[in-house]
């Protein structure tokens, strides 16, 4: 039967309108985004065929509907393909797919490599922002490889740790209030020191924060920051032990006086203040002071005793310092048990990992769950383009998040330390407690 002319005319008009809308959108799109737009159209209009080819389809068997003329015993099969919506971003194409039946995030992760080949993109990153939705990022350029400059934010206080920005350029924060231990691990030269410098710069202008800075490398990295520190040391194990003993003394005095001074049992209920500052203890290359020394000579025995005592002090500060406002940040290249004792590492509430060479090292710092997050695994960050990118559990975000941490030039951190050196106070001297309490704590 011939198709009526009016139907053909209507179909032609619909196609013309569709083409016109696409041409207008293409013309209105910035020239730099037009290749991305073309890729997005290709993904959208070939999705059903692509999904079938990479295995993202589920076959459903059912009976004919009641109105069908086929026998009720007939088996009807149909292929279900997850519906998608496609969005153009400056870095590539974002594809939001609905889950169907047994097609969940695991199946999309397994198909990510095949999708990257089919779409002709460098990488497809998979995440699940909420139940029932899987987000695919077809990256033409990875936004995490773009440089992020440090921006001073005076509104950021001790309660919030601004870590950097995610792949969408959105700010990412990690929990700081109520945290007594932080582990920062990663290969040398991949951003640990700059990450800590950014945190230092965020907090240095606040009179409600005091620092204890310990540099296990023994080099000049922290020399100009020491002017803003209550206590500071390099790689002298005896001096480090003595400084940590002073912080322990502060811990005990605060435990005995917090209720009388603040009227609460936890400083985070009222927040740190100038009279009761948050004490941030940074120990860079922490394994330098925690590794046991083997040997029978007198010097080896002395160093081993210092390491054991230092480990005991660090463990106690992390275990007991949360409610009195003492926070320990341990930075190390590898957080395995031979570098950071597990009784210390596993008590830290926050873990951040820059590039790692082995899965063992990544699991040591982030836990075994990182093995089920291949896109956020620190082994992927070994490319020099990812210097300054870390994997972490961010506040209010499911699973792991890759974060581009801002780069802080040494000159900037040094200048802030110099400008704020007048804020340095001895937290013990700020406490209105009797001398007998301090003497008891020292004992």
Alpha-carbon span 221 to 12, nearest angstrom = 70
Q: What is each CA distance from 238 to 82, 284, 354, in whole angstroms?
A: 62, 16, 30
State yes or no: 51 annotated in a binding site. Answer: no
412: Cβ–Cβ under 8 A, 6 or more apart, which residues?
150, 201
Alpha-carbon span 248 to 242, nearest angstrom = 10
State yes or no: 325 annotated in a binding site. Answer: no
Instruction: Give me 101's structure tokens.
Output: 């039946």
Alpha-carbon span 214 to 285, nearest angstrom = 9
- Is the Cβ–Cβ distance between 331 and 284 less than 8 Å? yes
State yes or no: 191 annotated in a binding site. Answer: yes
Alpha-carbon span 442 to 250, nearest angstrom = 9
Alpha-carbon span 220 to 366, nearest angstrom = 30
Instruction: Give me 316's structure tokens.
Output: 């106690």
Name the residue with tokens 């002073």.
246
- Is the Cβ–Cβ distance between 96 and 83 less than 8 Å? no
Instruction: Give me 306's structure tokens.
Output: 């210092």
State yes or no: 192 annotated in a binding site. Answer: yes
Residues of each annotated binding site for ATP? 186-193
Residues of each annotated binding site? 186-193
């Amino acid at each position: 039967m011939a198709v009526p002319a009016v139907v053909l005319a209507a179909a032609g008009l619909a196609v013309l309108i569709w083409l016109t809308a696409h041409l207008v959108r293409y013309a209105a799109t910035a020239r730099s985004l037009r290749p991305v737009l073309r890729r997005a159209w290709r993904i959208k209009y070939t999705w059903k065929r692509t999904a079938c080819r990479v295995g993202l389809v589920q076959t459903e068997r059912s009976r004919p509907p009641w109105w069908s003329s086929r026998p009720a015993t007939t088996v009807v099969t149909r292929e279900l393909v997850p519906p998608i919506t496609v969005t153009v971003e400056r870095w590539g194409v974002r594809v939001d797919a609905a889950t169907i039946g047994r097609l969940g995030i695991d199946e999309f992760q397994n198909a990510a490599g095949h999708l990257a080949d089919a779409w002709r993109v460098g990488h497809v990153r998979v995440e699940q922002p909420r139940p029932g939705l899987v987000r695919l990022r077809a990256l033409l350029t990875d936004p995490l490889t773009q440089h992020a400059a440090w921006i001073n934010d005076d509104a950021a206080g001790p309660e919030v740790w601004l870590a950097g920005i995610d792949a969408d350029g959105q700010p990412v924060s990690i929990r700081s209030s109520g945290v007594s231990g932080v582990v920062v691990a990663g290969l040398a030269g991949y951003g640990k020191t700059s990450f800590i410098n950014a945190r230092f710069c965020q907090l240095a202008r606040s009179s409600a924060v005091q620092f204890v800075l310990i540099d296990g490398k023994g080099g000049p990295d922290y020399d100009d920051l020491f002017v803003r520190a209550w206590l500071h040391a390099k790689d002298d194990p005896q001096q480090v032990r003595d400084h940590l003993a002073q912080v322990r003394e502060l811990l005990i005095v605060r435990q005995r006086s917090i209720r009388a001074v603040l009227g609460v049992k936890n400083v985070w209920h009222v927040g740190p203040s100038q009279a009761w500052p948050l004490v941030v203890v940074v120990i860079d290359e922490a394994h330098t002071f925690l590794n046991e020394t083997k040997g029978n000579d007198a010097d080896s025995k002395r160093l081993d005793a210092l390491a054991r005592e230092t480990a005991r002090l660090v463990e106690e500060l992390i275990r007991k310092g949360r409610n009195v406002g003492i926070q320990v940040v341990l930075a190390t290249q590898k957080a395995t048990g031979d570098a950071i004792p597990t009784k210390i590492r596993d008590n830290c509430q926050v873990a951040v990992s820059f590039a790692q060479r082995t899965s063992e090292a990544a699991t040591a710092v982030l836990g075994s769950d990182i093995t089920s997050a291949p896109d956020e695994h620190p082994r992927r960050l070994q490319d020099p383009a990812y210097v300054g990118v870390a994997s972490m559990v961010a506040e209010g975000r499911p699973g792991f998040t890759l974060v581009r941490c801002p780069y802080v030039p040494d000159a900037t951190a040094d200048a802030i330390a110099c400008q704020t050196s007048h804020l340095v106070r001895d937290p013990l001297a700020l406490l209105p407690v009797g001398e007998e309490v301090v003497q008891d704590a020292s004992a």
